[in-house]
Amino acid sequence: MPLVTSKKMLQDARDGGYAVGAFNVENMEMVKAVIQAAEELSAPVILQTTPSTIKYGSVQTYAAMVTAEAKQAKVPVCLHLDHGSSYELTLTCIENGYTSVMIDGSSETFADNVALTKRVVEEAHAKGIPVEAELGKVGGKEDDLVTEADTNTDPQKAKEFVEGTGVDSLAIAIGTAHGFYNGIPVLDKNRISEVRQLVSIPLVLHGSSGLSDEEVQECVRRGMCKVNFATELRAAYTDAVKKALDEEPKAYDPKLFGKAGIPAVKDLVMKRIRVCGSDGKSKGF
């Protein structure tokens, strides 16, 4: 089916008490793997690219790939800009077929984050595209995004932010980190419940790679409606390619390595979809 926006996906997840898995993709093989996993489990799914991934390929290339694969799928697929780094990039993505965008102004002052997000929201909504924003800071490193320390989201500020911007979903900081964790993360899960009481829009969990299934499920139970997975997918794909190279060191056809990566990513995505509780939730689109 054609690409859909994240609006109904996340509203349904909020109302149904589950979360939609959002998976960062880097190449054609990962795109195919994520959509195959979603189809097998009859789950709505979000595919994401970061600014550095877009820089590696292009907005047009990733939009074309995901659009082509989504048209062949029987489940709803959304293409989302993850951690949009500028107003201009969000517009470029929308103009080229992305059906959801994130503007990340979390490194700015509260007032500047509100102003930037509101500007993106006005342009995106005029074209029927929903917007995700971030308040508070998620630690760790993902691509070009580096945060040295976590600053968890203030619930009252979240309420003020949502009212001031009209944003459709909000990523909040609760102690998660981008990349793999060094040690066991300590999550402020009560913070999710506190924000959920004051904010009606869907909440988003970043930095989920490496969290236990139980941690993710508890976050979903408390109100997270979209859960992002990136680093662990990259690792699964790379490990499968390395294994294929070790087993056939004389091979030179790149398709051999791509074929090895697809099932590794697909299996992981299926596990994460089940953890999020979105399996079987593709009806109604």
Q: Is residue 225 part of a domain?
A: yes
Which domain covers residue 200, as residue numbers?
6-235+263-276
Q: What is the CATH number of the domain that holds 10?
A: 3.20.20.70
> pTM of this prediction?
0.92
Would you tell me how many other CB atoms lie within 10 Å of the CB of residue 72? 11
**Range 36-47 average pLDDT:** 98
Whole-number Å distance between alpha carbons of 245 and 251: 7
Q: Is residue 282 part of a domain?
A: no
- Per the structure, the count of domains in the chain is 1
Considering the candidates 12, 15, 82, 253, report the single residue annotated as catalytic.
82
82 is catalytic: yes
Tens of pLDDT along 66-114?
Answer: 999 999 999 999 999 999 999 999 999 999 999 999 999 999 999 999 9
User: Which residue(s) pair with 139 in the sheet?
Assistant: 177
Q: Is residue 251 part of a domain?
A: no
Tens of pLDDT along 114-171?
Answer: 999 999 999 999 999 999 999 986 654 445 544 444 578 999 999 999 999 999 999 9
Q: Is residue 243 part of a domain?
A: no
Whole-number Å distance between alpha carbons of 100 and 236: 26
Query: Is the CB of residue 264 less than 8 Å from the CB of residue 238?
Result: no
